[in-house]
Amino acid sequence: MKRVVLAYSGGLDTSFCIKYLSEERDMEVYSVIVNTGGFNERELKDLEKKAYDLGVTMHKAIDITEKYYSKCVKFLVYGNILKNNTYPLSVSSERTFQAIAIANYAKEIKADCIAHGSTGAGNDQVRFDYIFNILVPAIEVITPIRDLLLSREQEIDYLKKKGVNDNWEKSTYSINKGLWGTSIGGKETLTSDKGLPDEAYLNKLKNQKQQKITLGFEQGKINSLNGEVYKNKVNLIKEIDKIASSFAIGRDIHVGDTILGTKGRVAFEAAAPLVIIKAHHALEKHTLTKWQLHWKEQLANWYGMFMHESLYLEPVMRNIEKFLIDTQKSVNGEVIIKLAPYRFNIEGINSPNDLMQSEVCEYGEMNKAWKADDVKGFTKILANPLTIYGNVNKMEF
């Protein structure tokens, strides 16, 4: 029997894959779930039992949450990266690291094949296949959902015929949860005009009383919450998410271009990522120069696009990371944030590197470094290029 490693999530697609590969293809299925912060111990135990009940030969859970933070999330914060100014790359940034872990596991157990439950429509199929082609080119990749052109209804019918009973109502939506947010796909996201109903989101509104929190950063890294320093940044992110999610903060719908060139629409909730990124950006606006901010934004956009399109292994990503790290030396201080139902706003910052606190001058107040005539002369010279252009080209305004 051929040995196949299945990228397993416990959802409808990968549940179908277990039955199909073991019973229709007569394969030994080695399911592997790669945790990037979306599963707790109880959930992992439940998913392991479910995998064995479905018929896997062996199941393994690999936790890469700390690696995912240090190799990826940290840089998404440094770059204030929001795809199309909206989406914090909640799932798209995870897939590369999950694929790398799966490829390494497949090599470890000398698997003949790797399988995943991606459809033929979205980005994940490219993200998984791309990494597998680079890291394990000799291992065959099998994609039952994509190859058989199956709908969710067809998958459910197949599993029911095989005697698999589950709460298939949950399968109305495809949910992917990780440290950096949760994506939610369903019937509404296949349209252009419908929003997701409240019940589709995992985190409900629990707190209606406004609350202030303070996030601390040290050289760009999220470091503290309300004055308490956390050594473990993953735990800090989870605690921020717990607080902000109680206000149902972080809900939105992202519309973007897929790797295959089509437009895609997905709902998400990412309370901690949005609060952290906006707080970090506010601190940077106080502590970086105009041109640092400008060129950071350009390179960060490229970094986010490459990450989204599975090009994390491209060497230029390491070059951009070095640039991002270098820009964070002065990004130190605390950011005050007001949380309210479904929203938040940045109230201000305190930083030893705050460029508004220079002794040279104060914005909107009397300057200490120049005189009125200095500004008059500066402004006249500044106007020279357009004065000359307008004179030569006889421009009228």
DSSP 56-86: -SEEEEEE-HHHHIIIIIHHHHHTT--BTTT
Task: Return the bridge partners of 338, or none.
Answer: 212, 345
pLDDT band at 169 (very low <50, low <70, confident <90, very high): low
pLDDT at 172: 77
CATH code 3.90.1260.10 region(s) in the chain: 203-355
277 close to 62: Cβ distance less than 8 angstroms: no
- Average of pLDDT values for 216-222? 98
3-state class (DSSP) for residue 122: coil
pLDDT at 366: 65
| DSSP H helices in the chain | 12-19, 41-54, 65-68, 74-78, 92-108, 124-135, 144-148, 152-161, 233-245, 271-287, 290-308, 316-327, 372-392
30 close to 56: Cβ distance less than 8 angstroms: yes
pLDDT at 104: 98
pLDDT at 365 over 70: no
CATH says 203-355 is which class?
alpha beta
pLDDT at 341: 98
CATH, range 3-177: 3.40.50.620
pLDDT band at 216 (very low <50, low <70, confident <90, very high): very high
User: Which conformational region is residue 248 in: left (phi greater than 0), alpha (psi within -120 to 50 degrees), or beta?
Assistant: left
Say which range, 218-227, 255-264, 344-353, has the weakest mean pLDDT.
255-264
pLDDT at 200: 93
pLDDT at 315: 98
pLDDT band at 168 (very low <50, low <70, confident <90, very high): low
pLDDT at 368 over 80: no
Task: Return the bridge partners of 174, or none.
Answer: 185
- With a pLDDT cut of 70, the percent of the chain lying above it is 97
Task: Return the bridge partners of 394, or none.
Answer: none
**Could you read off the pLDDT of 57-81 as tens digits, one per residue?**
999 999 999 999 999 999 999 999 9
CATH code 3.40.50.620 region(s) in the chain: 3-177
Q: 10 Å Cβ neighbour count for 130?
A: 19
pLDDT at 239 over 80: yes
Arithmetic mean of pLDDT over the chain: 95
**Could you read off the pLDDT of 139-167 as tens digits, one per residue?**
999 999 999 999 888 999 999 999 998 87
